[in-house]
Structure 1
Amino acid sequence: MQAIIYAIKKKILVGRLKAISIVAKYTLRQWLFKPLTKIVGLKILAQEDVLAEKDKYQVWEFGFPETVIADEIRESTDEIPQLIHSHTGVINFGKPFVFTVTNAQLVGPAVVGFDEPGNLIAETFPGIGNIKKYLPTRTLLFKSLPRIKVPQLETAYSLVNWRSQNYYHWVTDCLIRLKGLEHYREQTGNKPLLIIQANPLKWQVESLRLLGYEPENCIQWKVPRVEVKHLVVASAQRERRTPSPAACVWLREQMLSHLPAIDSEQNFASRIYISRANAVGRKVANEDEVLAALTPYGFKAYILENLSFADQVRLFSQAEIVVATHGAGLTNMIFGKNLTVIELFDSFLTPDYFLLAKALGFNYKFLTSGKKTQFQYSKKFNAVSVDIAKLQALLTKLLDTSDFWNVTQDRQPVNTIS
């Protein structure tokens, strides 16, 4: 038992040190950004620049424009956090597209793309809105080096970015953009080499397999720079931190259609509680009480780290209601249909799962620990205390009335074609 406690404490310490390292890197980048850009120069090839010259970049559009209504959370038992409130409103998506850049180069640990004149290709760098904070300094340094013995590729598509090791961003920034690559393949008959990060994580390999990409068909990024004769780039299918509903639906359908057969019926509960018992932080301090309160309503607890990626898809695809602490496990709501989501907060939050739920047309609720909830990286690992009385009242209201059944049976995504 002591060994287990020691391992958990060590994991938490490593997580906190990593968080401190990230903050230090952000500070260093901002300090070095101005002098480095003066030395190497930096201009942006933005989305509008590409669309203005469709013939030059061989632009292929697909799909349709969309609109998502991220409306206020109604009948909340707690005060709506300002960070969520500030992200409500109408979110418009343009028509997605895929294009090619000739004689491009991919540079640095985040595999940022540059065209032949040296302009940064915005669609290869999610987070372009805060380039000063997030662009790795090594990218600018490698870009400025002479092109001597640089490896060359004929046609390639990069699935690597500075956030691709994060589960949420892997799914919403990387996987959903493969829809653009598939459209390129349909239009041209060409199959670009897929670039993935070095030593991919197990769940990354599993998710790619479900989309038809085997590790042997990919190349791992293990060099500082590569020249690409034809770089294929898909537009970022997100606006204001919100993924495209159509892209999410495409991903869900692809995953479900490629799930491997199982020997026996997997009996997942339809009412699920996602436990962070194995996580670095944001564990539920009174989890035993939470489980005792949820069990009479038919909930079952799951630790997602104990499930394969395919089983996580299966779990959420048949779920009816999900209760979970703020964390990457909620990304899996993409694989669900007609969900009700209850997110638990303490002193740390981001609006990502609220926006994802709204994009998918799901019923979203939340509970806080009663503290002021805001984005505070230093508070990222704080434990969450759940008000049991409020949780029971919310569940009773949701599950013991006909309103819940009407919503779950009839709810449709709120996104519309513009």
Structure 2
Amino acid sequence: MKIANPMPSTVTVPFPINLKNENRHLYASRLTFEVAPLKVKRLKNIFVSFTGFCMNKNGLIKESHHDYANQLKDYQSEVSYYYYNALDHPGNLIELDGSHTYLVIHHPWFNYYHWICESIFRLWSVRDKLDELILVLPEHYKNADFIMGSLEPFGVKNIYFIPDGKSLWVESLCLPQIKPICDSYSATELKQVSSFIRNYVRNSKKIFFQKRPKLYVSRELAGRRKVINEEAVQEVVKKYGFAVFCPEKHSFLEQVAIFSEVRYLIGTHGSGLTNLLFMESGAALLELHQKNTNELDYPSPLFWYMAECLKINYYHQICQTSGKEDYFEGDYYIDPVSLESNIRIMLGL
């Protein structure tokens, strides 16, 4: 008897607390999202590209990539590149020992958000089987603190680092499904992973840090999407007791410790807000969004949805784009008067 796959569940999200009527249209059509149970696949004789795409005789395996129709050709082109590169240059294909089962959780989108909020959750789904599995990762991952630091709480003992540009032939593969849509979350798993990592940091690491209940995440050290009036913004946030925080100055585990004590968070849309994951329920986030300037005609719901799942109060501010007119790349101009007004609303002043 064939058992039907569990149906997706629908999550309803409230409007941002400080939303004004003129911005209501930016959120009105996105007040729900769906969460579907993710699979853990056990597969035989699989080609694994250096970047984590998996392919068998039927082609690209859907559990190894996001479900964005407009990007599927790019995914197929990338895995094809590695496949034909291995055919033309057999030395670029490494056949792994068939007596072990290997684990794939990485993906070409190599940044802080996608690793912490996607790859780590794939790892979480097989946490009870890690002694039986060998994790495969690109070689350069070993030099990324947020990669190795986030693996530490799981006690991962067996890692095979893929030499740069090489691909793998794996006889026995464990493939936890990547979340098909980035801005979709299981509230239960968010809370479980958050608690697991926070407890490890508190109980095992005992990291000394200065508590900062009010935090502004600055991009002054970032290479793109800068705030062009950063000095004016910092003047406003400091007036209300917010510390200026640059993630680049702290290890992953230090960031977990710091954010576990944050009650009020301000930051521009981007990976810097990923640590929202480690804040306690009842805290508050003021997210600064780019004004829509390209095909993305609405603010990304990524952290709005995450905040709802974690029961964190969500506030927003729409900001002007300066320089490169692009939602994901353009610099910010943050209106200081609006910022101060929104901070006062968030703080209940």
Structure 1-normalised TM-score? Answer: 0.70
Q: Residue in 2 aligned with 1:257?
A: 199
Deviation at 1:182?
1.5
8 Å CA contact retained: 2:67, 2:181? no
Q: Secondary structure at the match of 1:345?
A: strand
Report Cα offsets for 1:2-61 as digits up to 9, x if no partner.
xxxxxxxxxxxxxxxxxxxxxxxxxxxxxxxxxxxxxxxxxxxxxxxxxx699xxxx9x9
Query: Which is further off, 254-263 or 277-286?
Result: 254-263
Q: Does 1:342 align with 2:286?
A: yes
What is the identity, as a one-letter code, of the residue corresponding to 1:162?
A: P
Q: 1:368 aligns with which of 305, 318, 342?
A: 318
What is the identity, as a one-letter code, of the residue corresponding to 1:123?
A: E
Gaps (5+ residues) in structure 2? 293-298
Q: Residue in 2 aligned with 1:224?
A: 166
8 Å CA contact retained: 1:100, 1:231? yes
Gaps (5+ residues) in structure 1? 1-51, 402-418
Deviation at 1:191?
1.5
Q: 1:167 aligns with which of 109, 112, 117?
A: 112
Q: Secondary structure at the match of 1:298?
A: coil
8 Å CA contact retained: 2:34, 2:184? no
Deviation at 1:142?
4.2
8 Å CA contact retained: 1:172, 1:243? no
Distance 2:212 2:70 in 1: 41
What is the identity, as a one-letter code, of the residue corresponding to 1:105?
A: F
What is the identity, as a one-letter code, of the residue corresponding to 1:177?
A: R
Distance 2:342 2:15 in 1: 17
Of the two, which has the highest radius of gyration?
Answer: 1
Distance 2:314 2:196 in 1: 25
Q: Residue in 1 aligned with 2:40?
A: 98
What is the identity, as a one-letter code, of the residue corresponding to 2:190?
A: C
Q: Residue in 2 aligned with 1:383?
A: 331
Q: Does 1:197 align with 2:138?
A: yes
What is the identity, as a one-letter code, of the residue corresponding to 1:129?
A: A
Q: Residue in 2 aligned with 1:398?
A: 346
Q: Residue in 1 aligned with 2:306?
A: 356
Distance 2:114 2:107 in 1: 9
Q: 2:12 aligns with which of 62, 69, 75?
A: 69
Q: 1:270 aligns with which of 202, 205, 213?
A: 213
What is the identity, as a one-letter code, of the residue corresponding to 1:363?
A: N
Deviation at 1:390?
1.6
Query: Which is further off, 392-401 or 235-244?
Result: 235-244
Q: CA 1:394–1:146 in 2, change beyond 3 Å: closer, same or farther?
A: closer
The equivalences for 1:13-24 within 5 A come to none
8 Å CA contact retained: 1:158, 1:196? yes
**Count of aligned pairs:** 330
Distance 1:301 1:78 in 2: 31
Q: Does 1:122 align with 2:62?
A: yes
Distance 1:124 1:53 in 2: 23
Q: Secondary structure at the match of 1:80?
A: helix
8 Å CA contact retained: 2:18, 2:316? no
Q: Secondary structure at the match of 1:104?
A: strand
Report Cα offsets for 1:344-399 as digits up to 9, x if no partner.
12346533222222332221111123569xxx884544332222222222222222
Distance 1:191 1:172 in 2: 24
Q: CA 1:161–1:140 in 2, change beyond 3 Å: closer, same or farther?
A: same
Q: CA 1:319–1:99 in 2, change beyond 3 Å: closer, same or farther?
A: same
Distance 2:345 2:40 in 1: 45
Among all aligned residue pairs of Structure 1 and Structure 2, give the percentage whose two residues are the same amino acid.
21
What is the identity, as a one-letter code, of the residue corresponding to 1:350?
A: S
Q: CA 1:378–1:359 in 2, change beyond 3 Å: closer, same or farther?
A: same
8 Å CA contact retained: 1:211, 1:254? no
Q: Does 1:132 align with 2:72?
A: yes
Q: Secondary structure at the match of 1:258?
A: helix
Deviation at 1:304?
0.7
Distance 1:399 1:195 in 2: 45
What is the identity, as a one-letter code, of the residue corresponding to 2:55?
A: F
Distance 1:303 1:79 in 2: 33
**Aligned residues: CA RMSD:** 3.2
Structure 2-normalised TM-score? Answer: 0.82
Q: Residue in 1 aligned with 2:96?
A: 152
Report Cα offsets for 1:295-351 as digits up to 9, x if no partner.
232211111100111111112111111000122010110111122111112346533
